Homo-oligomer: A and B are copies of this chain.
C-alpha cells in the first residue's frame, strides 16, 4: 500500500508531516479552551447517562485521541454529547439498574457494539444507511430529545427522586415526589440555571462592553459553566450544604482512565444491538453534519466512510477505557474551530488536558452539587429544542409534517428508541409511497412542431388509436406495478386503441422488476390486440433491455424519437423491426 493510499485510512500521515510551530500554537490555545469547556460537560453528560462523573472524563480522553488518528475532520471534538447520553441511559437502563456494576459494564458493551457497528459501516461503505433518517425526522428527534433531557434533569434541581424514559413517566415521577423537594437544592439549582441562561444571552454583550474583542468575548462566555461549578462547589463546601440534603458528586477516583474489557455476553449483546445501531446512526448523522459545516469554511474534504471509521475507533476506545458512547459534539467543535484549532493535534492536546484533570482536579469536585450539572444540561439542551421545524414542515409538505410530528410525539411519549425508529419508518414509507407513483403524462404533439407535451396542460394533437405515455422517472420495483395499473386502466377505457407508445426520455435506469412489468404489459396488450412501442430510450437503459427477451417479443418497435413514432403510426400498421 502506497503512502497516499495508507493516508486515506490514517489521515494523520498526511497532516502530521506538515505540522509546524504555527499549527502547534493554534492547536494548543484551542485545546486549553475546549478542555475548560469539556470538563463540566463531560461530568454532566455522565450524570445524564446514569454513570459516575469520572466516566464522562474518561469518555473524553481515548476517544479524542483515536478520532485524531482516524478521523478526517480537523476541528471535530469527540466526546459525550447530550442526545447520545440520553439514548445510552435509555438503552442501558433497560438491562441494568443505574448505579450498579452491571450498569457500568453494559455502558461499555454498548460503546463497543456501537464502535464495531460504525467501523463495519465504514469498512463496508454503508454510510448511506444514515440516509434512512430524513432531515425533518432528525430535527424532530433532536427537538423531542432536548425536551426529554431537560425534563429528566428537573428532579436534580428539585433534589428529589426521579426516573423514566418517556415524558409521561418523568412527569409522573416528579409529581409523586414533588412534596419531598429540598429547598436548598432548589435554590442552588434555580440560581445556577438562571446564571447559565444569562451567560448564554447576556455575558457576551457584557464582555464586549468591557472592551473584549468579539472572539474573546465569545470564548469568555463559554467559561460560564466553569464559573457556576466553582461557585456552587465553594458554596456547598463553605456552608456544609451536603448536611442540608444537597446531593453532591462525592468521591471521584483520582486516576487516568482504567483499561476495561466490555462484557461480550450474547444475551447482553442481543439486548443492546438495536439501541447500539440507533446510537451509531444518530451519532454519525450529528457528527457528520458538524464536520461538513466546519470543513466547508476551510475547503477541506470530509470522507463520510472514513468518518465512520474514526467514530468507530473512538467508541471502541471509550469501551476499553471506562467510558460510554461518544460522537462529535456541535458546540465544542465550533469552539475548537473558533479558538484556532488547525489540526487533529488540538484534540490530542485536549485529551492531555482532560487526563491532567482526571489526575489532579477530581478531588476538587467532591462537593460539586448535582443540581449544577443538571442546570448545565438543561441550559445546553434547550438550544436543541426548535419546534419551528413543525411550522416549516407544515408549510413545505404534509408528508414531511407527518414524519416530523410522528417522530416528536413518539419520542416524547414512547421514548427515544421507538421515536427514532418510527420516524425512520415513516420517512421510508412516505418515500416508497411517492416513488411507487411515478409521474407520467399522456402526451400529444404541439401543432406544427416535433415537441410532445402533456395533453392536460397544452393544446396538442393526438390520434385516437395511439396512446403516448411519457414516463418521467426511472422504472424500478416500487413503481413498476403502477405502470401496469395505469396502462390497464387506459386499455379498459379506450376500446379504439391499437398502439401504445411508452416514451422513456427520463428513464435513467430500469431494474428486473420493471423489465418483467414491461414484459407483462407487452403480453397483456398483445392479448388485447394492441401493439407496444418504446421511444427515446436512453443508451444505458437500451443496454439493459438488450440483455433479455423483451426486445425480441415486443409487438411494436423501438423508435429513436417520439416524432418518428407518431409519424410511422399515423401511416398505418408499422413494419416489425429487424
CB distance from A499 to the nearest CB of B (A): 15
CB distance from A427 to the nearest CB of B (A): 6
Q: Check A477–B427 contact: CB distance below 8 A.
A: yes
Q: Check B292–A484 contact: CB distance below 8 A.
A: yes
Q: Note all chain B residues with C-beta closer than 8 A to A523.
A: 293, 296
Q: Check A128–B436 contact: CB distance below 8 A.
A: yes
Which size bracket describes the interface of A in this complex? 35 or more
The number of times this chain is found in the oligomer is 2
Q: State the main secondary structure of chain A at its contact with B.
A: helix
- Closest B residue, CB atoms, query A517: B135
Known: A293-B524, A297-B528. A512 touches B481 (CB 8 A): no
Known: A297-B528, A300-B492, A477-B427. A512 touches B292 (CB 8 A): no
Of the residues B135, B302, B481, B488, contact of A131 by C-beta under 8 Å: B481
Known: A293-B520, A301-B488, A528-B299. A508 touches B439 (CB 8 A): yes
Please tell me if A197 contacts chain B, counting CB pairs below 8 Å: no
Known: A293-B520, A299-B492. A128 touches B512 (CB 8 A): no
CB distance from A403 to the nearest CB of B (A): 9
Please tell me if A515 contacts chain B, counting CB pairs below 8 Å: yes
Q: Check A511–B292 contact: CB distance below 8 A.
A: no
Known: A477-B131, A477-B431, A481-B131. A397 touches B296 (CB 8 A): no
Please tell me if A472 contacts chain B, counting CB pairs below 8 Å: yes
Q: Check B524–A292 contact: CB distance below 8 A.
A: yes
Q: List 29 A-B contacts (CB under 8 A).
A: A128-B432, A128-B433, A128-B478, A131-B480, A132-B478, A134-B477, A135-B477, A136-B516, A289-B520, A292-B488, A295-B492, A296-B488, A296-B525, A297-B524, A299-B491, A299-B528, A301-B493, A302-B488, A393-B512, A395-B548, A396-B515, A397-B512, A400-B512, A400-B513, A427-B477, A431-B477, A435-B435, A472-B508, A473-B508
Of all A-B residue pairs in the complex, the 3 with the closest CB atoms, nearest first, are A296-B524, A134-B477, A301-B492
Q: Could you list 7 further interchain pairs (A-B, Cβ under 8 angstroms) beyond the known A136-B513, A392-B512?
A: A128-B436, A293-B520, A293-B523, A302-B488, A396-B547, A397-B544, A439-B509
